Structure 1
Amino acid sequence: MNIPTTVHPNTRNATIDGWRGLSIILVLLGHTGRAISQNNILARFSLADEGVHIFFIISGYLITHLLLTRIHSAAKEAQPIKKFYLRRFLRILPAFYAFHLILLLLRKVELLDFSNELFLKNILFLANFNFLGGTWILGHIWSLSVEEQFYLVWPWAVYYLPIARIKWLCLVVIGLSPLIRALNYLYPTYSDFWAGGFFQHADSIAFGAMLSLLIYTKQERILNRLRNPMLLLGLAGLSAVIWALKYIPHTSIITIPLYYTVFSLFFSVLIWVSMAEKTTAVFIFQALKNPVLGFIGKISFSLYLWQQLFLWPMEYQSASSGLLFQQIPYNIAFVGLAGVLSYFLIEKTFLRLKGSWQL
């Protein structure tokens, strides 16, 4: 088996862009379904959360790969932590704060309504914790908050810990997350204040990080086993069964803690298989390199930021302004337009600084 060699950390991976594109499509389909009605198939069987967790896996994989390359490899750089945070700043914050500035302007002209407290909670990346409540227009920032909190800790762990210890840390997080989800299910009022907001989702990030560690250390025996078709079929079947059972109230105490652990393991393996050279000829993995899907993946962050402004769930529409850009099908076009403009006018403008600053 040919394990992917370390590439320059700024090199784009077409397969990963395809996964990003697929992830944001799942999010958009789920939210579009809710904007149409509460009972259509897209809303009832939404895969929006699954799309977000695929994003978490990708983030764990890519960030760990970047850090390992810049800290532990022969290509290691000076001041890697400082440069890491500069890159994250340029990648995330300009588009993020531009979006929030527009929200403030829309509130000023009374087209939107949200409290200052919720707005502050968002811009401080605390939206994943259950205090001060929430609102639809700001609610999706919970997932970005999870990632930002991951960025606060993970670079230091990779910098100071030996790789074997980093692997154990991933395993601890993977084992802890289902327990936190069980506590959150049983005692939601309490657990979400201290740990639930992060650890309910952290195993998805940890699986992505573990995949990066296995590839980086060339664990051929383990990686070869992960490509076993029977393992993939078994994980796919188990994920599907738990996904179906989570809609049955009496099984929730089992399925809610376990579902995203099994799901994240399955998709981590699937992402690895899609990147392995011997499987790139398989049609389904070649489809990930489709240029249209890749472009959607490239602008996925901007799409993620803006989509909730336009895709209002039907149950909230009576409280909204009823504007054209929040009505089907115009809102779908506005999501695409906002995503493209945000990417080319804001994201790309600031990403160019990475080159000029040699980041």
Structure 2
Amino acid sequence: MIKIKKKLNQPFSLPGFLSEKYLPSLDGWRAIAILLVVLGHAKFTVTKETIYYRFTEKFVYAELGVRIFFIISGFLITSLLIKETLLTNRINISHFFIKRVLRIFPLLYLYLSVIGILMVYYKLDLNIHNFLGPILYVSNFTFYNNTWLTGHTWSLSIEEQFYLVWPFVFSAMTKKAWLFCVLIIGLMPMLKVFWYYKGYYIQSLGPFLNGADAIFTGALLSFLCFKGLMKADSNFWGSKSFKIIATLILFLCYFLSHRGMMGKILLPFGGLLTDISVCYLLLSTIIHRKGFFYDILNNPIVTKIGVISYSLYIWQQVFIIPQDYYTAILPRSAFPFNILLSFLAAFISYYGYEVHFLKMKKKFIFIYP
């Protein structure tokens, strides 16, 4: 423990496995995350008697997909901040926010505009509160009402709230910012028990922390890498046994919790077990660049899905609509065509709209030698 603390207090150093501008497997992980979300949501468009519903009910968990997105976000953002610090000895906070705005705002506000048009055309009983939460990135707090069409923006709200906090914390205590991550992660088991028994969920920032803890776990993983605690030459990263164990932990955490089982363990520690397992699998496919799973993650089709994952996350909500939602008002496509239409909309959105803003974003990205 003393040795780990000593290493954490040392200056940053760039590990070879994170030195590239484009890290392998990350887009593949984004693809897995968005497929979990899309396939998980699609079960609400079929009857409970179908094979698809029964399969996804047992093996596909949309919440796990969002959790993976959160961990990737924390890991990648923090890695970029550390690289910028190594290069310039500081971070440019204004550039940080410009890049985030160009990545997230244009697509979300386009989507909300489309929902506004649908609301008027189909006379949907949406109100200003259904839009205020997403527009202001506070839809994770329940005092802003959500509907299915805007409900998925809760995760974007958590990410944006993280972006508002993290660059300032990182800038203020750069080499010690890992302590902030440890504090959040360490408090979560107690907070989850407290929320369950006592409440005060909103008052204690539960809608943010109960999700942001995964982002901070990804951030902590980045610190561990740049502090030299993750050795690329260890056999640990290529172990098939550890990969199987981590995958089983992920599955069991969600399978059991969805069925109200093992609550005394999973309520406080389920999220932590999930996050540690995802972090191991994520880093193992960045460091150990071979094997069947690595090949799948870096398959051109899979990485392409990862590239459009944000578009797909946004647009799938308007195509994959539950059976009992506005049944007599909104038109909808039957399964599996609703999934195909979601992919089509995501491709058109990304290559016809988002790429223009992403090109603008590149002007604010420093080049690490």
TM-score (norm 1): 0.88
State the one-letter code of the partner of 1:316: Y
2:58 is aligned with 1:58: no
Distance 2:218 2:124 in 1: 37
Counterpart of 2:9 in structure 1 is none
Counterpart of 1:323 in structure 2 is 331
Residues 240, 256 of structure 1: alpha-carbon distance in 2 compared, 3 angstrom cutoff = same
Instruction: Describe the SS at the equivalent of 2:325.
Output: helix
- 1:219-266 superposed Cα distances (whole Å, 9 cap, x missing partner): 246994863745545444444433333134363343233212101100
Quote the offset at 1:138 in angstroms: 0.8
Task: Provide the aligned C-alpha RMSD in A.
Answer: 2.5
Uncovered stretches (5+) of structure 1, i.e. residues with no partner: none
Quote the offset at 1:170 in angstroms: 1.1
Counterpart of 1:255 in structure 2 is 266
8 Å contact from structure 2 (residues 45, 321) kept in 1: yes
Quote the offset at 1:139 in angstroms: 0.6
- 1:133-186 superposed Cα distances (whole Å, 9 cap, x missing partner): 4211111000111100100011111111042x2121111111122223323333
Uncovered stretches (5+) of structure 2, i.e. residues with no partner: 1-13
2:186 is aligned with 1:175: yes
8 Å contact from structure 1 (residues 242, 255) kept in 2: yes
- 1:186-241 superposed Cα distances (whole Å, 9 cap, x missing partner): 355x3135421111112211221111111122224699486374554544444443
Query: Of the candidates 323, 341, 353, which is equivalent to residue 348 of structure 2?
Result: 341
Query: Of the candidates 141, 149, 162, which is equivalent to residue 129 of structure 1?
Result: 141
Q: How many residues align?
A: 348
Query: Of the candidates 127, 135, 139, which is equivalent to residue 115 of structure 1?
Result: 127
Distance 1:136 1:100 in 2: 13
Counterpart of 1:90 in structure 2 is 102
Comparing 249-258 with 104-113, greater Cα deviation is found at 249-258
Distance 1:347 1:293 in 2: 19
Distance 1:297 1:173 in 2: 29
Quote the offset at 1:323 in angstroms: 0.7
Distance 1:115 1:38 in 2: 31
Structure-to-structure mapping, 1:6-17, within 5 angstroms? 6-7=18-19, 11-17=21-27
- 1:258-299 superposed Cα distances (whole Å, 9 cap, x missing partner): 2121011001011111000xx211111121000111000000
Counterpart of 1:207 in structure 2 is 217
Residues 183, 135 of structure 1: alpha-carbon distance in 2 compared, 3 angstrom cutoff = farther
Query: Of the candidates 231, 238, 241, which is equivalent to residue 252 of structure 2?
Result: 241
Distance 1:193 1:341 in 2: 41
Distance 2:90 2:230 in 1: 30
Counterpart of 2:11 in structure 1 is none
Distance 2:243 2:263 in 1: 24
Quote the offset at 1:309 in angstroms: 0.9
8 Å contact from structure 1 (residues 37, 43) kept in 2: no
Structure-to-structure mapping, 1:273-292, within 5 angstroms? 273-276=284-287, 279-292=288-301
Structure-to-structure mapping, 1:15-26, within 5 angstroms? 15-26=25-36
- 1:310-348 superposed Cα distances (whole Å, 9 cap, x missing partner): 111223253x62414x43333222211211111112210
Residues 332, 238 of structure 1: alpha-carbon distance in 2 compared, 3 angstrom cutoff = closer
Counterpart of 1:301 in structure 2 is 310
Quote the offset at 1:6 in angstroms: 4.7
- 1:104-157 superposed Cα distances (whole Å, 9 cap, x missing partner): 111121254321112101111111112244211111000111100100011111
Structure-to-structure mapping, 1:144-183, within 5 angstroms? 144-163=156-175, 165-183=176-194
2:219 is aligned with 1:219: no
Instruction: Describe the SS at the equivalent of 1:315.
Output: coil
TM-score (norm 2): 0.86
Quote the offset at 1:98 in angstroms: 0.7
2:63 is aligned with 1:49: yes
